[in-house]
Amino acid sequence: MTIKLGIIADDFTGATDIASFMATSGWRVVQLNGIPTGTVDLANADAVVISLKSRSCAAEQAVALSAHASRWLTTQGCERLYFKYCSTFDSTSAGNIGPVTDFLLAETRAPMAILCPALPINGRTVVHGHLFVNGRLLNESGMENHPLTPMKDANLLRVMEQQAQGTCGLVSLATLGEGKAAVVRRLAQLENEGKRYAVVDALTQDDLLTLADALPHNVLLTGGSGLAGALAARHPQPPQAEEFAPLSTGRTLILAGSCSLMTNQQVAHYRERAPSLALDVERCLNDADYQAELAAWVLTQSAEKAPMIYATRPAEEVKALQERFGVEAVGSAIEHLFAALAVELNGQGVNKFIVAGGETSSLIVQKLSVEGFAIGETITPGVPWVKDLHRPLWLALKSGNFGDEHFFTKAQEFYHA
């Protein structure tokens, strides 16, 4: 069997997000946390996703990391490459998406790259080449204030041309509305005009499916998880059933390290229904015995409903803690305590972790030495259960704003005897 897609994702939760969108069409997806040093069994994989941490680093470094990943994926026999970035086109002021795309164009000798960040199911749409988040222009959506990748312009053609070497054309919504043949013609026209990049409008899932049908084999694919999901939907595989579902035996622990609005709601909801403990943030910073105390608390709870430890607080409280201890110091202390606790408790029978927070998840996976995982059933769009490639360990890793208030309970409904 050939690996249909080899995906280079510029961050960790983005990698899980795209993996999950393909898995919903029955694709067997393996996600690797960085480039593996040893061999990995990819015999049954339809897609392989390598998660990098390249979104916010310098462009040169992002290119070097992506080069390494793309060569590894090609060596493994991936039929085509896909560069996954955020559906809000997050890029630094120097711009990483352009340079990485230029590198991959040269590497694969593709004549043109498709740029398709749209993810209509999550409110990310592109119209007249402009990116919208829940109906608001990208630069008026809150993303203009992002601390690392502020997006001040919603015109993707302009943003791309500022970052990259070549010029950019548009496949408009009107063309998509005319169907596959019109899109094929438009892409050929742009290529003849010497365009290196084609931004594709998309307002609905149907638009993504039309694009998936029309894509020539030789173009480079770049974008969000929507297009990859549409490609998988057009070539569905038999369902994986319960192959990677978590076992009901063993304990589960919920660790909430996100302070997003949605995680606050999820914590407030779950706290009323299961054993819960609010993390004492000050003790994270200065009490060496705190971890052992937390571990003992977890192990003395009934295993019936997963206990939850949460650092999650409303924004005003977080701000006060950050002012008192420093943003970096407090964030890092919490992340490291959660990761160390996960490692300790994994050694004591906790085989399932439900984690809220992108950075929090990334460090936990790293400290648990998870080289990669297989993607299981979707709990909520973009968040699947995943199973470690080498041992019976399951993870549900949610970036802050994903899911609804029932998420923690819902995740526990996927266990199998």
Closer CB to ligand ADP, 279 or 306, in the complex:
279
Region of 63-71, 119-127, 290-298, 330-338 interacting with ligand ADP (CB under 6 A)? 330-338
Q: Residues in contact with ligand ADP, total (CB under 6 A)?
A: 20
Enumerate the H helices of 235-326 as residue ranges.
261-271, 281-286, 290-299, 315-325
Closer CB to ligand ADP, 27 or 407, in the complex:
407
Burial degree of 391 (CB within 10 A; 0-12, 13-18, 19+): exposed
**Beta-bridge partners for 386:** 375, 395
Closer CB to ligand ADP, 129 or 400, in the complex:
400
Chosen residue from 254, 330, 345, 354 binding ligand ADP by CB under 6 A: 330
Q: Per CB under 6 A, does 258 bind ligand ADP?
A: yes
Shortest separation between residue 329's beta carbon and ligand ADP, angstroms = 10
Q: Per CB under 6 A, does 271 bind ligand ADP?
A: no
Pairing of strands 372-380, 383-388: antiparallel
Rounded Cα distance, 48 and 38, in Å:
15
Closer CB to ligand ADP, 66 or 260, in the complex:
260
Shortest separation between residue 189's beta carbon and ligand ADP, angstroms = 41
Shortest separation between residue 344's beta carbon and ligand ADP, angstroms = 18
Q: Which two tokens stand for residue 102?
A: 């230029």
Q: Which two tokens stand for residue 53?
A: 């941490």
Q: Per CB under 6 A, does 334 bind ligand ADP?
A: yes
Shortest separation between residue 328's beta carbon and ligand ADP, angstroms = 9
- What is the SS3 assignment for 221? strand
Pairing of strands 3-9, 78-84: parallel
Q: Per CB under 6 A, does 268 bind ligand ADP?
A: no
Q: Per CB under 6 A, does 358 bind ligand ADP?
A: yes
Rounded Cα distance, 48 and 212, in Å:
19
Q: Per CB under 6 A, does 346 bind ligand ADP?
A: no
Dihedral, 292, 298, 299, 301 alpha carbons, nearest 10: 150
Region of 145-153, 201-209, 239-247, 256-264 interacting with ligand ADP (CB under 6 A)? 256-264
Q: Could you identify the residue written with the tokens 């795309």?
A: 101
Q: Per CB under 6 A, does 74 bind ligand ADP?
A: no
Rounded Cα distance, 5 and 82, in Å:
7
Closer CB to ligand ADP, 210 or 291, in the complex:
291
Q: Per CB under 6 A, does 360 bind ligand ADP?
A: yes
Closer CB to ligand ADP, 263 or 351, in the complex:
263
**Beta-bridge partners for 8:** 50, 83
Closer CB to ligand ADP, 79 or 323, in the complex:
323
Chosen residue from 99, 111, 357, 372 binding ligand ADP by CB under 6 A: 357
Q: Per CB under 6 A, does 400 bind ligand ADP?
A: yes
The residue nearest ligand ADP at its CB is 400
Chosen residue from 32, 259, 389, 411 binding ligand ADP by CB under 6 A: 259
In terms of Cα–Cα distance, which of 125, 359, 403, 56 is closest to 263?
403
Closer CB to ligand ADP, 47 or 383, in the complex:
383
| Binding pattern for the stretch 297-326 against ligand ADP, x by CB under 6 A and - elsewhere | --------------x-x----x--xx----
8 A C-beta contact, residue 46 and residue 394: no
Q: Per CB under 6 A, does 201 bind ligand ADP?
A: no
Q: Per CB under 6 A, does 257 bind ligand ADP?
A: yes
Rounded Cα distance, 4 and 292, in Å:
46
Rounded Cα distance, 203 and 222, in Å:
17
28-67 residues near ligand ADP, rule: CB under 6 A: none
Helix (H) or strand (E) holding 206: helix 205-214
Q: Which two tokens stand for residue 256?
A: 């909430």
Region of 53-61, 118-126, 143-151, 257-265 interacting with ligand ADP (CB under 6 A)? 257-265
Written as one string, the DSSP assignment of 180-200 is: HHHHHHHHHHHHHTT-SEEEE
Q: Which two tokens stand for residue 406?
A: 């029932």
In terms of Cα–Cα distance, which of 257, 293, 297 is closest to 275?
297
First to last CA, the chain: 31
Which residues of this chain interact with ligand ADP, rule CB under 6 A? Answer: 257-260, 281, 311, 313, 318, 321-322, 330-331, 334-335, 357-360, 399-400
